[in-house]
Amino acid sequence: MPFTPGRVPFQFYDLHPDTENFRDDVLSGLAQPRKALAPKYFYDARGSELFEAICDSPEYYPTRTELAMMQADSRDMARLLGPDCLLIEYGAGSGRKTRVLIEALAPAAYVAIDISRTALQQCAAELAAAYPKVKVAAVCADYSRPLDLPVIESISPRRRVIYFPGSTIGNFTRPDALVFLHQAHALAGRGGAMLAGVDLKKDPARLQAAYNDARGVTAAFNLNLLARINRELDGDFDLDGFVHRAIWNADQSRMEMHLESLRDQQVTVAGQTFHFRAGETLHTENSYKFKLQSFAALAEAAGWTLERTWSSEQPAFAVVLLRA
């Protein structure tokens, strides 16, 4: 199973994160008075491609900013983290930042965890080929739920280091972020650490542009969720009946993405019918923007100690080293 001819083998563990969960979550999300879906469902094969295109858009600053920070500071990070660790990444995606970290850190092994099977397999195959000295494993799983790591044979890492770039922590509401950070703390274990990307609060106009790029890639990413429901759950969403909205919620310090219904309409999904009023929205994502102190307080409430912060100004972004 892990071996594909012509490719460098990596261990692959499929914890089957979607299908039934997706159906149940969509049906309950559409039945709520304020319709909402979790952003983890964006990432089917098409959604992962569109997300990569967002990262390349001129308006979406986080990827570029964090990659530049990794290039500038990864040696510093590696010195504090130490060699021969087990590096565990949540939401590996394309692995662009991971390469920079692996080169500086020289981990004993690398475990990529991602909900998107296609993106994960591609990333793991590429990294296994690029770094033959690093043992590579891939786990297809929903990491917002508790998860047991597979046993990686013939390595004895000195510690576990979790890598959680992209400010994906911002997709969790505060209570969910606490639960997640607790789970990550347990996974890191004694002497473990976490390196996380944290997008910081900034000018709302800049944020709005980042989540509503001029070429419409983010709009396509958001609308792909409806296309995915149509494909996988026998839905009949009319994609021309909804528009992408990106809203800065100042009270909650978060960007929100919604899909707004342009008219009164009925939609059927998996045999159930739902009604949308004109102007009613389906809330598809929160992306919290932090103040460093509020992020530190959140991490500390989950048992972590903030050891080091690297930050950039304009656009403000931070990479933090947390110790378990």
Instruction: Report how many residues bind ligand AVJ under the rule CB under 6 A.
Output: 11
Q: In this chain, which of 48, 116, 167, 224 binds ligand AVJ, going by CB under 6 A?
A: 167
CA angle (221, 225, 228) in 5-degree steps: 120
Interface with ligand AVJ includes 171 (CB under 6 A)?
A: yes
Q: Does 287 bind ligand AVJ (CB under 6 A)?
A: yes
Residues 42-81 that bind ligand AVJ (CB under 6 A): 54, 62
- The residue with tokens 């909205």 is 245
Q: Which of residues 87-146 bind ligand AVJ (CB under 6 A)?
A: none
Q: Taking every pair of C-alpha atoms in the chain, what is the biggest distance, in angstroms?
A: 60
Nearer to ligand AVJ, 54 or 115 (CB): 54
Q: Alpha-carbon distance 310 to 197, whole Å? A: 10
Return the range that interacts with ligand AVJ (CB under 6 A); candidates 13-21, 25-33, 68-76, 167-175. 167-175
What are the backbone angles phi and psi of residue 155, rounded to the nearest 5°? -130, 145
Amino acid at 317: F
Q: Which of residues 218-277 bind ligand AVJ (CB under 6 A)?
A: 218
288 binds ligand AVJ (CB under 6 A): no
Stretch near ligand AVJ under the rule CB under 6 A, chosen from 73-81, 117-125, 162-170, 270-278 = 162-170
Q: Between residues 175 and 271, which has the closer beta carbon with respect to ligand AVJ?
A: 175
Give whichever of 207 and 267 is closer to ligand AVJ, judged by the CB atom.
Answer: 207
Task: Give the DSSP H/E element, type plus range, for residue 125.
Answer: helix 117-130
> How many CB atoms are located within 10 Å of the residue 27 CB?
15
Q: Are 289 and 230 in contact (CB under 8 A)?
A: no
Q: Smaller CB distance to ligand AVJ: residue 66 or 126? A: 66
167 — phi, psi (to 5°)?
65, 30
Span interacting with ligand AVJ, options 141-149, 168-176, 180-188, 274-282, rule CB under 6 A: 168-176
Query: Distances in Å between the alpha carbon of 186 and those of 194, 291, 294?
Result: 11, 25, 22
Residue among 136 and 220 whose Cβ is closer to ligand AVJ: 220
Of all residues in the shown chain, the one whose CB is closest to ligand AVJ is 287
Residue choice 166, 172, 282, 322 for contact with ligand AVJ (CB under 6 A)? 166
- Side chain identity, residue 276: F
DSSP conformational letter for 305: E
Q: Of 63 and 121, which CB lies nearer to ligand AVJ in the complex structure? A: 63
Asked if residues 290 and 198 have their Cβ atoms less than 8 Å apart, the reply is yes
Residues 201-220 that bind ligand AVJ (CB under 6 A): 211, 218
Closest by CA position to 255, among listed 199, 312, 177: 199
Is 309 in contact with 189 (CB distance < 8 Å)? no
Site for ligand AVJ, rule CB under 6 A: 54, 62, 166-168, 170-171, 211, 218, 285, 287
